[in-house]
């Protein structure tokens, strides 16, 4: 046995076979692998920051193109060249920085845990316990009462409004106290690890892929997508009306031509040579969906004190599982990104909070440049940016003023607001005052504004907890302070009478229901699962966080309407499709292919609303009745269109004597009606129209052309 033991521990002879383990990997291979890992780690930041700068550049070029009357295709080609130059410069600068900082980069640990000073306020033993308990109690009262206020109870909205305001003020005092009494500002938050970034990239890619198969047809598409189609087919920018006339009638006063997203899509389609709707829904929408998901990841990682992957997963689940209502954030994140305002709330809002966090942390020129670029991107997406961004920046600036960062707050405000406000002012000076006809009919008070975006019921309670407890859960210092500022701003807006006052002073009632957009709500929802649960071991704490995440996702699944539900007005397809009801799309293409006479097309309203998304060559009587408020509903212009569209829909039976003058005034050349509308089919010949085309079921239709 002794002999055996001695044999067992005897050193083995050297193995002549080359080893294949990590230590035997050539230095060049290890360096290459390290570069790949580093690229994956920074990919979310590179992609989102690059997208912001690129689209901001196009928006500036688009605005400058008005001075030289450039065609959109020319502007797009100039933009492409400029992007290539900027990309080359960025790569060269990155290589120089990498060479200069290689030693320090090798010694840095991307997987290091957050510093102690980054722990959330709620977990700090030095925090004033009485104030903390009061804030949590007020937040709970506000969240629960807001969640049940609109569920059929007679609970006064003053209860959640006052409790929420108290929670917001208390939360801001807590984080301010922690800031002023804590240590010096910590270094930048730990960079994302390769595994974290890879997970975010995979999730964002899946989000982009899912955009191919879900379609939510919205009435606004007739304007946003229709404008892209018009630009792609004509290579012109319509400064006047393009829906009711051929760029002749005055443009809608509520839609100044500042946003560039529709021009970008139309110019891209024109240059590439594909249909603008295909360019939008098959190329740009998946890219926008990926960028929006990565923007959410970046803010969640920056604000989460721990377990950012879990928080990000919950935030994505929230967007997919909480849709249904027309204003729920889930309906904007994926289903309406192509409208610009969806991309604004889903990508610009989280990125603005991220860039402001970075600016207040390090005050670097890079952060400031990104804030400026993002503000240009925001106004290039939607005019709503000129309303929401001042609220967001004001909330952040006020919070920073409370800790003495007034200079950084002022610089950030100028950087974030100068271009959006300036472009709106210039456009109004050139094109005339902005109108809001019919806007008062769409005003929503504080309670209904909460319901539309944060929802009522169980999900409303969860949203309220995220709103009023977010500052207690976020990473300490800047993230917590900004979350507290956002909560205070929205709490003030939720006080009864405040939105009414803003409406009276500004005349923007129609969009005031969007004020909850100033929150980065999905990120705050995700932070709920990062709360430090008292437990004896780290494993149990992680398990508790996982349990909270499961409860949150289960609540969304049980008490909300998912994105893919028919109750969300969504159709799920087994192949990539345009975001239109397929039968209407087929009918519109069929009508386009007919040998029609000159003049407008009169058809059922749904077909007329679909046609501008298909082509600008077929002009219709009524693209959308909602837009008639811009042209005076009592005018003959509006009355004729409403009369004829009701006739084509079969909802009214006007006499030939009533129809003939309207048909003549509008120069209607073609009438197409469903076969079930027997009155219209029998009346058309009496109006001087002859049947010339029929379409079989489904969607059986008969078309008549004007005789002579």
**Using CA atoms, how far apart are residues 606 and 624, in angstroms rounded to an integer?**
9
Residues 349 and 259 grouped into a single domain: yes
The set of residues, in sequence order, having a beta carbon less than 8 Å from that of 272 and lying 6+ positions away, is 279
Q: Which domain holds residue 202?
A: 122-215+253-571
**Using CA atoms, how far apart are residues 660 and 666, in angstroms rounded to an integer?**
10
Residues 323 and 387 grouped into a single domain: yes
**Using CA atoms, how far apart are residues 661 and 687, in angstroms rounded to an integer?**
10
Residue 183 lies inside a defined structural domain of this protein: yes
Of 408, 398, 416, 418, nearest to 482 by C-alpha is 398
For 41, 100, 369, 417, the CA distances from 64, given in Å and listed in that order, are 36, 38, 20, 19
Q: Phi and psi of 600, rounded to 5°? A: -75, 160
Residue 672 lies inside a defined structural domain of this protein: yes
Cα 535 to its chain centre, rounded Å, is 38
Helix %, strand %, coil % of the chain (to 5): 65, 5, 30
CA dihedral angle for residue 447, residue 491, residue 463, residue 502, rounded to 10 degrees: 50
Residue 39 lies inside a defined structural domain of this protein: no
Give the chain's residues under pLDDT 70.
Answer: 1-25, 27-28, 98-127, 150-152, 182-188, 253-255, 431-442
**pLDDT on residue 15:** 46
**pLDDT on residue 161:** 94
Which of 550, 571, 592 terminates a domain? The answer is 571
CB 576 within 8 A of CB 282: yes
CA dihedral angle for residue 601, residue 606, residue 610, residue 611, rounded to 10 degrees: -10
Whether pTM exceeds 0.95: no
**Using CA atoms, how far apart are residues 76 and 79, in angstroms rounded to an integer?**
5
Residues 394 and 355 grouped into a single domain: yes
Residue 408 lies inside a defined structural domain of this protein: yes
**Using CA atoms, how far apart are residues 339 and 572, in angstroms rounded to an integer?**
19
Residue 1 lies inside a defined structural domain of this protein: no
Residues 533 and 639 grouped into a single domain: no
Residue 206, Cβ neighbours under 10 Å: how many?
13
**pLDDT on residue 662:** 95
Residue 479 lies inside a defined structural domain of this protein: yes
Residues 593 and 671 grouped into a single domain: yes
Residues 534 and 640 grouped into a single domain: no
Residues 606 and 555 grouped into a single domain: no
**Both tokens of residue 226?**
């229709």
Residues 544 and 617 grouped into a single domain: no
CB 200 within 8 A of CB 313: no
Bridging pattern class, strands 668-674 and 600-602: parallel
**pLDDT on residue 22:** 47
Q: What angle do CA 435, 342, 514 make, to 5 degrees?
A: 55
| Number of residues that this document lists for the chain | 708
Cα 240 to its chain centre, rounded Å, is 27
Of 585, 610, 591, 584, nearest to 705 by C-alpha is 591
**pLDDT on residue 11:** 41
Residue recorded with tokens 């499709």: 577
Using DSSP's 3-state secondary structure scheme, residue 670 falls into strand
Of 342, 339, 340, 317, nearest to 331 by C-alpha is 342
C-alpha torsion sign, points 492, 496, 499, 503:
negative
CB 204 within 8 A of CB 294: yes
Residue 145 lies inside a defined structural domain of this protein: yes
Which of 543, 571, 599 terminates a domain? The answer is 571
CB 291 within 8 A of CB 44: no
C-alpha torsion sign, points 137, 138, 141, 143:
negative
Largest CA distance in the chain: 119
Residue 50 lies inside a defined structural domain of this protein: no
The set of residues, in sequence order, having a beta carbon less than 8 Å from that of 279 and lying 6+ positions away, is 228, 232, 265, 268, 269, 272
Which of 545, 571, 597 terminates a domain? The answer is 571
Per the structure, the count of domains in the chain is 2
Of 94, 91, 92, nearest to 102 by C-alpha is 94
Return the axis-axis angle of helices 27-68 and 194-210, rounded to nearest 10°: 50
Residues 504 and 630 grouped into a single domain: no
Residues 546 and 685 grouped into a single domain: no
Residues 548 and 615 grouped into a single domain: no
Residues 318 and 296 grouped into a single domain: yes
């Amino acid at each position: 046995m002794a002999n055996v033991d001695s044999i067992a521990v005897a050193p083995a002879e050297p193995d002549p076979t080359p080893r294949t383990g990590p230590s035997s990997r050539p230095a060049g291979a290890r360096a290459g692998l390290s570069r790949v890992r580093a690229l994956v780690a920074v990919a979310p930041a590179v992609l989102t920051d690059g997208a912001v700068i690129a689209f901001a550049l196009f928006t500036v070029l688009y605005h400058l193109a008005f001075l030289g009357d450039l065609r959109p295709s020319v502007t797009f080609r100039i933009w492409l060249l400029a992007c290539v130059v900027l990309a080359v410069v960025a790569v060269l600068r990155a290589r120089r920085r990498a060479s200069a900082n290689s030693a320090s980069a090798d010694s840095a640990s991307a997987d290091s845990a957050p510093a102690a000073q980054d722990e959330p306020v709620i977990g700090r033993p030095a925090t004033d316990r009485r104030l903390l308990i009061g804030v949590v109690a007020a937040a709970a009262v506000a969240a629960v009462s807001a969640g049940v206020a609109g569920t059929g109870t007679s609970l006064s909205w003053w209860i959640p409004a006052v409790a929420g305001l108290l929670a917001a003020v208390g939360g801001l005092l807590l984080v301010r106290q922690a800031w002023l009494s804590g240590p010096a500002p910590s270094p930048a938050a730990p960079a994302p690890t390769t595994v974290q970034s890879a997970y975010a990239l995979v999730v964002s890619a899946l989000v982009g892929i899912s955009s191919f198969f879900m379609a939510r047809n919205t009435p606004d598409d007739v304007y946003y997508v229709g404008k892209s189609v018009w630009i792609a087919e004509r290579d012109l920018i319509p400064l006047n009306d393009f829906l009711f006339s051929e760029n002749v009638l005055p443009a809608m006063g509520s839609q100044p031509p500042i946003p560039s997203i529709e021009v970008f899509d139309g110019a891209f389609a024109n240059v590439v040579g594909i249909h603008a709707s295909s360019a939008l829904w098959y190329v740009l929408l998946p890219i926008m969906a990926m960028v929006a998901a990565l923007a959410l990841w970046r803010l969640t990682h920056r604000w989460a004190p721990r377990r950012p992957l879990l928080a990000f997963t919950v935030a994505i689940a929230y967007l997919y599982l909480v849709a249904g209502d027309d204003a729920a954030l889930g309906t904007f994140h994926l289903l309406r990104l192509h409208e610009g305002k969806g991309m604004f709330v889903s990508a610009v809002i989280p990125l603005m909070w991220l860039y402001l966090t970075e600016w207040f942390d390090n005050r670097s020129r890079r952060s400031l440049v990104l804030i400026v670029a993002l503000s240009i991107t925001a106004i290039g997406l939607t005019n709503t940016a000129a309303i929401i961004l001042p609220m967001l920046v004001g909330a952040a600036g006020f919070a920073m003023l409370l800790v003495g960062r007034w200079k950084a707050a002022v610089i950030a405000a100028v950087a974030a607001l100068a271009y959006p406000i300036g472009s709106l002012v210039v456009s109004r000076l050139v094109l005339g005052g902005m109108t809001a006809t019919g806007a008062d009919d769409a005003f929503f008070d504080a309670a209904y504004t909460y319901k539309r975006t944060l929802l009522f019921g169980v999900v409303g309670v969860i949203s309220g907890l995220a709103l009023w407890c977010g500052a207690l859960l976020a990473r300490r210092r800047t993230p917590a302070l900004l979350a507290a500022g956002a909560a205070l701003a929205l709490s003030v807006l939720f006080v009864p009478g405040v939105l009414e006052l803003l409406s009276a002073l500004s005349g923007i009632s129609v969009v005031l229901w969007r004020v909850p957009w100033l929150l980065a709500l999905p990120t705050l929802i995700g932070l709920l699962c990062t709360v430090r649960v008292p437990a004896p071991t780290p494993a149990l704490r992680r398990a508790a966080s996982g349990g909270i995440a499961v409860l949150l996702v289960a609540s969304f699944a049980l008490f909300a309407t998912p994105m893919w539900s028919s109750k969300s007005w969504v159709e799920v397809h087994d192949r990539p499709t345009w975001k239109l009801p397929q039968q209407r799309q087929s009918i519109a293409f069929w009508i386009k292919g007919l040998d029609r006479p000159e003049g407008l097309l009169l058809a059922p309203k749904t077909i007329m609303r679909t046609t501008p998304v298909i082509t600008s060559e077929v002009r219709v009587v009524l693209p959308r009745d909602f837009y008639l408020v811009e042209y005076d509903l009592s005018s003959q212009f509006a009355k004729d269109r409403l009369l004829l569209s009701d006739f084509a829909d079969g909802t009214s039976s006007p006499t030939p004597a009533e129809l003939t003058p309207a048909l003549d005034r509008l120069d209607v050349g073609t009438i197409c009606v469903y076969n079930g509308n027997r009155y219209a089919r029998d009346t058309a010949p009496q109006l001087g129209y002859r049947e010339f085309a029929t379409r079989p079921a489904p969607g059986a239709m008969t078309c008549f052309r004007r005789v002579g």
